[in-house]
Structure 1
Amino acid sequence: MNRKFVLEFHSSFKHALLSIVLLSFAATSFALAAPYKPHEVKAAYLYQIANFVKWSNESQKTKLYFCIRDDQQLSRTFVTITKGKSIRGLDIVTNEQGRPCDVLYVSKTIVDSELSAQTVTVSSKKGFAKSGGTIELRQIKDKIQPIVNLKESKSDRFSISSKFMRISKIERGS
C-alpha cells in the first residue's frame, strides 16, 4: 500500500474520529469539569466550528484565517491545538493582523478591518448571537453551549453544517 495514502488515510481517520468525539460530547454540551478549562473548550470549539462551516469562496482559498482578539490565553491554546493541522486541505493561520478573518473570536469589540462578508463571528459575550453575531459560546453552569444566529447562518457567504446546528441552540437574531 502506498505510504502517502496510508498517512493521509490515518490523518483523515484521526480527523473524523475527533469530529465524532466532539459531536458526541457536544450533543450534551461540553462540560467544563476537570481537566478542561473554559479557554481549552473554547479553543476546541473554534477549531471544530471551522470544520462545520463551508465558505462559498472556499475553492479559491489556500488558508483559513483565525483571529482571536482580547483573549491571549485562548489564542495561545488555539495555536497549540492547531499547530500543523489543516481543515479540508486549508492551512490554519492565526492572528494575522490587518487582514480579514475567516473566523473571528472577539471578547470585547469587533474591528471592521478584520471583517469581510465571509467572516464567521464567534464570542462568549452574552447576547452575541441575538445581537447579530454568528455563533455565541454561552457558558451555562459548568457547560459551554453553542448558540447559532439562524439569520446569519443562512446566507450565500457560508453555510453551517446541519450536524453543528443539531448540537446548538438556535437564536432567531435581530
Structure 2
Amino acid sequence: MHFAHISNVCQFQDELDQNIRLPVKPLRKPRIMRCRAICFTILALPFSLASVPAENMPSDRLGEYDVKAAFIYNFARFIEWTPWHKNGENPFFSIGVLGEEPFGNALDDTFTDKTIAGSHVRIMRAGNLQALMDCQILFISQSEQSRVDKILNALNDRQILTIADFPGFAEAGGIIELRVEENRVRFLINQKTAVDAGLKISSKLLNLAQKVITR
C-alpha cells in the first residue's frame, strides 16, 4: 500500500481540531527532512492517512512505513520509561526490528538526532530474537506472525514495548497493534500487557487508541 499524504494526524489537545495535510504535490526535500516533517505533524493532531493508486504516485512521495516510523517515535514519547542502564551509564535507547525489514531507511531517518528518555537512539535489525532482547522497543515484522506466541512468551519478563502491524497482535499479547482501515492509521493497545511489562502509557495515547485491552 502506498500513501500520498497525511491528514488529521494526532489530537493530543481538544482545542486542536483542525486538520493538517502535507502537500499533495511531490515532496522534493531530502528524505530525512521529510521524515522529520512527519514527526512534527504527528505531534499535535489526530491520526490519518490518505492513499492513491501506486501507478499515480511519484516515487518520492511519503510511504506507509515512513508514517509508521513517525508513529513509533510518538509512541515512545508518550511512555514513561524506567531506567534500563546501570552504574550511571546512559547507553542508547534501542529500537529493534525482528524479521524482514519493511522500513528501509525510514526508522533511521526518523530517529536521527532524536533522544528518548535522555538517550540517543540506535536502530537494530535481526532475524534472531536473542540479538534484540535488550531493546526498549521491538517491532515484530509480518514475516514473524506465525511464531508470534513464542516471541511474546520469550519477552514475558522484559520491559519492552512490542509493536506489530498484523491482525491479532494485540489480542495475542502484543502491546501496540498498528492498523490501516479506510486509509486511516489506527492502533490498538493491550494495556494489561504494558502494565505487566512495567510500562506506563500516557492517558493521552490511551485515549487515541481504537481499542484498549485491559484483561
Residue type of the alignment partner of 1:129: A
Rounded Cα–Cα distance in structure 1 between residues aligned with 2:99 and 2:161: 17
Alignment of 1:15-164 (within 5 A): 21-25=41-45, 27=46, 29-33=47-51, 35-58=61-84, 60=86, 61-95=90-124, 98-100=131-133, 101-107=135-141, 108-109=143-144, 111=151, 115=155, 117-155=158-196, 157-164=198-205
SS of the residue 1:45 aligns to: helix
Larger radius of gyration, structure 1 or 2?
2
* Cα shift at 1:167: 1.1
Following TM superposition, the consecutive aligned residue runs of length 4 or more in structure 1 with deviations greater than 6 angstroms are: none
Gaps of 5+ in 2: 1-35, 53-60
SS of the residue 1:91 aligns to: strand
Return the TM-score normalized by structure 1.
0.75
Bigger helix share: 1
How many aligned residue pairs are there? 155
Kindly indicate whether the alpha-carbon contact (under 8 Å) linking 2:165 and 2:179 is maintained by their aligned counterparts in 1: yes
SS of the residue 2:72 aligns to: helix
Kindly indicate whether the alpha-carbon contact (under 8 Å) linking 1:32 and 1:38 is maintained by their aligned counterparts in 2: no
* Cα shift at 1:99: 3.9
Kindly indicate whether the alpha-carbon contact (under 8 Å) linking 2:97 and 2:125 is maintained by their aligned counterparts in 1: no
SS of the residue 1:62 aligns to: coil
Rounded Cα–Cα distance in structure 1 between residues aligned with 2:214 and 2:103: 26
Kindly indicate whether the alpha-carbon contact (under 8 Å) linking 2:163 and 2:177 is maintained by their aligned counterparts in 1: yes
- Sequence identity percentage: 21
Rounded Cα–Cα distance in structure 2 between residues aligned with 1:76 and 1:32: 21
Kindly indicate whether the alpha-carbon contact (under 8 Å) linking 1:43 and 1:77 is maintained by their aligned counterparts in 2: yes
Higher relative contact order (CA 8 A, sep 6+): 1
Rounded Cα–Cα distance in structure 2 between residues aligned with 1:40 and 1:79: 10
Rounded Cα–Cα distance in structure 1 between residues aligned with 2:104 and 2:74: 15
- Alpha-carbon RMSD across the aligned residues, in angstroms, is 2.8
Residue type of the alignment partner of 1:149: N
1:83-115 CA-partner distances (Å, limit 9, x unpaired)? 121123211011165242110001232557x84
Kindly indicate whether the alpha-carbon contact (under 8 Å) linking 1:65 and 1:96 is maintained by their aligned counterparts in 2: no
